[in-house]
Structure 1
Amino acid sequence: MGMLFAEEVAAAFAQLRAGLAKAEESIKALSLAEQKKACEARRAEAEQSKKAEAAAREAQAARDAQAAAEDRAAALAEKLSDRAEEVRRLDEQVDRLAVKLEEKRRHTKQMETAVDRLEAEVRGEAKARFRFERPIERRVSSTAPLEERARGGRAEERSPAAEKAGRQLQRSHSPHSRREREAGRTPRCESDKERHGGCLRSRSRSLSRHPPWAGGAQGKGKGRVTLLARGGGADGSAAA
Structure 2
Amino acid sequence: MWRRLILICTLGAFAGIFVIPLNPVNSKLLKLAFLGCIVGAWVGFTILTWKRKPVRVAALILPLLAAVPFILPGGEIDTDELRQDYVRRMSEFEGTKYHWGGESSRGIDCSGLPRRALRDALLAYGFRHFNGRAFRGCVEQWWFDASAKALGEGYRDYTRPLGATGTIQEMDYDGLVPGDLAVTTSGVHILAYAGDGQWIQADPGIGAVATLDGRTADNGWFRTPVTTHRWQLFTQN
As a proportion of its length, which structure holds more helix? 1
Q: Which has the larger radius of gyration?
A: 1
Please report the TM-score for the alignment, with normalisation by the length of structure 1. Answer: 0.20
Please report the TM-score for the alignment, with normalisation by the length of structure 2. Answer: 0.20
As a proportion of its length, which structure holds more strand? 2
